[in-house]
Amino acid sequence: MSAAYWLLVGVSIASVALLCALLTLVIRNVVIVNVFGVGLTVATLVFMAADFSYVIPTCFAYRISLGMIVPDTAYPDPAQALTAGWAVTALFLVLPLAANLAVVTRRRYLR
């Protein structure tokens, strides 16, 4: 159970934090970032049980974590879900990280 929890927390927080950091750097409006967070939470809740939920990293982390505890809740095609889910999750981690670094270095926040 502990591994499932840390997988869920790690993937969810990392992907959401990087996207919100990018929005904060680009838009500089806290209200829009909060609305984005609420929207992502609602999308996660709506698509959580769908068979294609592996394309949303927060849903993917939830279903994989839950599947570790209750095997009946796992994806119908685990190989496809794991391959596509980890690929999408990696993109949601690498692309915002690269964009954050580009914005920070372009605006010369780092000296």
Q: Is the pTM of this model over 0.85?
A: no
State pLDDT tens for residues 7-24.
Answer: 999 999 998 999 999 999
Question: For the chain, how far is it from start to end, CA to CA, in angstroms?
Answer: 43
> Is there a contact between 57 and 92 (Cβ–Cβ < 8 Å)?
yes
Q: Quick one: tokens of 18? A: 């990087």
State pLDDT tens for residues 45-59.
Answer: 999 989 999 999 999
Inter-helix orientation angle 2-27/78-106, to 10°: 40
Q: Quick one: tokens of 104? A: 């920070």
109 or 64, which is more confident: 64
The average pLDDT across 76-95 equals 93
pLDDT at 111 over 70: no
CA distance 33 to 22: 9
pLDDT at 71 over 60: yes
